[in-house]
Amino acid sequence: MDLEQLCNEVMDLARLTGEFILEERKKFSSSSFEEKGRQNFVTHVDTAAEKRLVKGLKKLLPEAGFIAEEGTVGKSDEDWQWIIDPIDGTTNFIHGLPPYAICIALAHKSKVVLGVVYELGFKEFFYAWEGGKAYMDGKEIHVSNTNSVNSSLIATGFPYTYFERLDPFMYSVRYFMQNSHGLRRLGSAATDLVYVACGRFEAFYEYGLSPWDVAAATFIVLQAGGKACDFYGNDDWLFGGTIIASNANVYDEFKEVIRKIFVEEEKI
């Protein structure tokens, strides 16, 4: 399989789907959404965009199944799986506030081998494939060289479920406000992650995430020279529901801070 060629074809599909999303946004009403759960929304644009992606991806790789956020296609157990989020950052989209992004990953036996994130606010493409580098709009990207958490700009996402972890989360906010260059919350986990990949952020952490939130973007981080794990220091960032991603220099320090706060619940 020529993953580079496939990646280019996936980007073409994402670009066309992005045009559809942006046109729909022009006529979108902030009341045109359904609530899947507390602060967890879906719009007709999410659903229609996912159907477009599924249709196009089936043509590119008929033997692959799907893991898709909006459930427009049933779960399957094929070795090859597309993992897709038609709009990562739906709440931002509803309010007309970038960033929000199309996320498409391809996994083989649960190992991601291709990732595309198309952030629609700046219309920036981030992408990578196994055996290649990581790119943004045709230029190779790398994680930053910053070597301490104290000198890092860090991204996170605010929880809207699993509030039993809210206390350690709020402590982490306080810690990073006092011990880094700052903390940012953009509202799109995939965008946060690709910003780690290109060096705009040094690190990202969040809990309560799904595979479609992290698959494509975390793979891009890894191909850009970064590292990732779950809050427990294990490799289950794809399905484990928690994630840490950073440049290689701050990874050990950052991982230890998150472990102490969320796993051991220490006041460090």
DSSP state of 85: E
Residue found by looking up tokens 């990949």 in the block: 197
Contact predicate 188/74, CB 8 Å = no
Residue found by looking up tokens 């992004």 in the block: 101
pLDDT in tens, 86-99: 999 999 999 999 99
Verify that 127 and 158 share a domain, yes or no. Answer: no
Instruction: Name the nearest CA neighbour of 216 among 200, 247, 237.
Output: 237
Final residue before a domain boundary, out of 140, 174, 207: 140
Verify that 127 and 173 share a domain, yes or no. Answer: no
CATH number of the domain where residue 107 is located: 3.30.540.10
Final residue before a domain boundary, out of 86, 107, 140: 140
Ranges in the chain, pLDDT < 70: 29-42, 74-76
Verify that 63 and 166 share a domain, yes or no. Answer: no
| pTM score, whole prediction | 0.94
pLDDT in tens, 173-193: 999 999 999 999 999 999 999
Verify that 156 and 256 share a domain, yes or no. Answer: yes
Task: Print the domain residue range for 171.
Answer: 149-263
Number of CB atoms found within 10 A of residue 58's CB: 15
What total number of domains does the chain contain? Answer: 2
Element holding 102 (H helix, E strand): strand 101-108
Instruction: Name the nearest CA neighbour of 189 among 97, 89, 121.
Output: 89
